[in-house]
Structure 1
Amino acid sequence: MESGYQGEEMSVMRNSGWLLSVALLLGVLAFHNAYAEQGCPDGFTPNAAGTPGMQCIPIGGQTRPGSPSTASEQWSARWGAIAADNASGKTGLMGNMTSRRKAESGALAICKRKGGSNCELKLTYYNQCGVMAWGDGKMSTASAPTIEEASDLALTECRRLAKDCDVYFSDCSYAKRVR
């Protein structure tokens, strides 16, 4: 009888071990982070095909749970202006202003304060870069998203008008995040 009892005990222990294993597996699966297709969490998608390494990027129009919404971000435009008196060569330059009016009136005031009697606005720009190029008494201005692009444009125009052109002034007045 003893051997029969031990056999039943061994069978119960085997069944208990199997049930315990299944219970642990279910527990691990229940508390494991859920991932969408290709290994990314909800709200994310794999980066573009052909890029090295697996990176998950947010799906457009969605924000990551728990992160602040980008819709609540607010940006304030920044303005710049360039004024000049062609006869005297006096210039006025104003950048990083919160309004067009402030940038333009500031550039004109600086030009006049330097002795310009017939100062005129030559360029007004916002959320980008402004450049003035000068050569042999000729001036050109340009604006573009980067200082390099604006410089290339201003120098190309200046060289069309004169020789020995150089960038005389450059400024980038990019939008500022206010919230």
Structure 2
Amino acid sequence: MKTRILWMTFALSVLPAGNSFGCPPGEWLQQGAGWQMCVPIPGMQNPTSGPPSAAPVWATRWGAIAVNESDIAAGVGSASGMEGKRLAESAALRACREKGITGCKVKFTYKNQCAAIVWGDHGSNVSGAASIEMATRVGLDKCVKDKDTNCEVYFTECSYPERLR
């Protein structure tokens, strides 16, 4: 019996206190004269914190606008959100032709931004910028600078980058 009590006393003195004193998983009790606290177990990750979040990865997205230079009022063919410049241009030309417009040509190609067509009584321009509002403002300013009259926005579209992760 005396041996059994000695073994139990020994076992209790060498077993880690850890969770029996309220430490969360992955931590153990550290104590000194008159104090005690839970500290992380060396080499173990804190289970409540996940892996560090990775920086976002963005993919470029292209857009294009195709028109008939001699008669922009006939319509516009456009494409946005495309993975490459050539894909965007081909899609814009196809969209232009599908509307029955002849003589379609790519007038503007852009990536990760917006585009606006502004026209006046004497001509048109296409501008690109970070937002529709900015592209519109740039186009209207060009129209006024060229001393055109009755400047107005004819078409806008955006092709923003796509977040992959």
The TM-score normalised by the length of structure 2 is: 0.64
Match of 2:121 among 130, 136, 160: 136
Q: 1-side partners of 2:143 and 2:96: how far apart?
A: 21
Higher helix share: 1
Determine the structure 2 residue equivalent to 1:167.
Answer: 153
Q: 1-side partners of 2:107 and 2:139: how far apart?
A: 12
Aligned pairs (5 A) from 1:44-123: 66-70=51-55, 73-89=56-72, 90=74, 91-123=76-108
Q: 1-side partners of 2:65 and 2:32: how far apart?
A: 76
**Uncovered stretches (5+) of structure 2, i.e. residues with no partner:** 1-30, 41-48
Q: 2-side partners of 1:175 and 1:82: how far apart?
A: 18
* Displacement of 1:122: 1.3
Which one-letter code corresponds to 1:155 in the other structure? L
User: Are 2:111 and 1:126 aligned?
Assistant: yes
**Uncovered stretches (5+) of structure 1, i.e. residues with no partner:** 1-19, 33-63
Determine the structure 1 residue equivalent to 2:34.
Answer: 23
Aligned length: 124
CA contact (8 A) 2:62 2:109 kept: yes
**RMSD of aligned Cα (Å):** 2.5
Calculate percent identity across the aligned residue pairs: 35
Q: 2-side partners of 1:160 and 1:109: how far apart?
A: 33
Higher strand share: 2
The TM-score normalised by the length of structure 1 is: 0.60
Q: Secondary structure at the match of 1:164?
A: coil
Match of 1:156 among 137, 141, 147: 141
